[in-house]
Structure 1
Amino acid sequence: MAGFDKALKYLKDHRGEQVSVRLPHWTQDVDIRLRTAQDDRQTRDAGQPTHDYLTAASRYGFIPWIPTQIELLSDDWQLCDITGRVIAE
């Protein structure tokens, strides 16, 4: 079983690889991803984030995501590869 700490570490360790994490009771097309901020201040638009952030991804797109207490304390996070296939629970 993976707690949120392991799920977040997985996302950080695979930064830039399009991996994701999810909870098993969520709709199949919903997962959490780590989006990276653009590092180059010369090419970054004023509205772009300056730090990495979590997003919820679905068939509708991406939105910034902050976990709830229930999600933070869940021990059943699934770690997914780039195709969305669960590789660890």
Structure 2
Amino acid sequence: MAGPATGTLVAACALEEVTDAARKTLPSRSLIITRDYLLSPAASRFMARRAHAHTAEVEASHTVPVFQHGAAGTIEQAAHATTR
């Protein structure tokens, strides 16, 4: 459960004005999962295009981080690419 200090921090953040959205300054990345039955690959591609994201496709199910260890490299590359 959140304590008083956490509530104060959240309230302070809610009052802050956003001047530079990260989505406008950092490149977006998207991992398209081709055998995902929770979110279709077409929907994933649509959202990635909308975000102007760099994409990588992996033939795997929704549990790709657990069972497709090769995808970890793709995720790691994206993390390093967006680090300032």
Larger % of strand: which?
A: 1
Larger Rg: 2
Relative to the length of structure 1, the TM-score reads 0.24
Larger % of helix: which?
A: 2
Q: Which one has more relative contact order, counting CA pairs under 8 Å at least 6 apart?
A: 1
